[in-house]
Amino acid sequence: MNGDSHMNVPVVEFCMFPSTEEYQENPVKGLTGVFDILWNKAEGTQFVYHGVEKEDLETAYLLVGWKTLAHHLKLMSNTTYYDPLLASLESSMSTSLSNVEVIHIQFGFPPNKAFESPVTELSFITPKSEDEEERVKVTEMVKEMERMLTKAGIPCAWGPAVDKEGLVTLAVGWESVAKHWSTVKENHHMHDIVGTLLEAAEVVVKHVKLSPYVG
């Protein structure tokens, strides 16, 4: 892997796409070209995870940790590498590249432990109000969730999107999807925070079984 081997807090690219049955059966084979370019040719790649959503088995996730956002943008501007990367990605998609969703999250803490758990919760949180004070309240609730989870020994990390205004993402590692929901139900303080958060923000919760790509 090229780039600095020191694990700084990364900018994480979230690439979500509708996948083929072939990809779902053998994701490493399906994304061989993508992995080769990310791991061996791109600069600034710190880690790569991939997996399929529990709620919708067709939706695949490719999560790439970049040393900086500029490193990803540099790859995108290099057609020698980026064109074959897109071609490899499209071969694993059930539709066209226009259906790929990409966002970048600046986590405040490395999310690797959450990504390497049996199941990773990915909550995408967007304040309903554009008022700055209301957005700050939403962020503070997410921070409180992170503090509670960390205190309970549950791996988690949160961060704002750098390319989608207002969006905040929380990544949490769980033993199972059922454990996630039972914890929220049984922990009254957490349950209350979630209830208040749902009043102030649009919250999309997904669960993914992620695997690291190690070259």
Per-domain residue ranges for the chain?
11-106, 112-207
Could you confirm whether domain 112-207 is CATH 3.40.190.10? no
What pLDDT, on a 0 to 100 scale, did the predictor assign at position 10? 87
Residues 182-209 have a mean pLDDT of 96
Question: pTM, whole model, 2 decimals?
Answer: 0.92
pLDDT bucket at 13, cuts 50 / 70 / 90: very high
Q: What is the DSSP string of 135-158?
A: HHHHHHHHHHHHHHHHHTT--EEE
Cβ atoms within 10 Å of 86's Cβ, excluding its own: 17
pLDDT (tens digit per residue) in 130-170: 999 999 999 999 999 999 999 999 999 999 999 999 999 99
Backbone angles phi, psi at 39, to 5 degrees: -90, -35
Residues 134-144 as b/e (b if ≥16 CB within 10 A, e otherwise) read ebebbbebbee
Per-residue pLDDT, 135: 94
Identify the three-state secondary structure at position 193: helix
- Quote the pLDDT of residue 3: 40
- Please provide the CATH number assigned to the domain covering 11-106: 3.30.70.100
Is the pLDDT at 94 greater than 80, yes or no? yes
User: What is the mean pLDDT of the segment spanning 43-58?
Assistant: 96
Number of Cβ within a 10 Å radius of residue 214: 9
Q: Do domains 11-106 and 112-207 have the same CATH topology?
A: yes
Write down the pLDDT at residue 8.
Answer: 67
pLDDT of residue 214: 84
Q: Which residues contact 6 (CB under 8 A, 6 or more apart)?
A: none
pLDDT at 44: 96
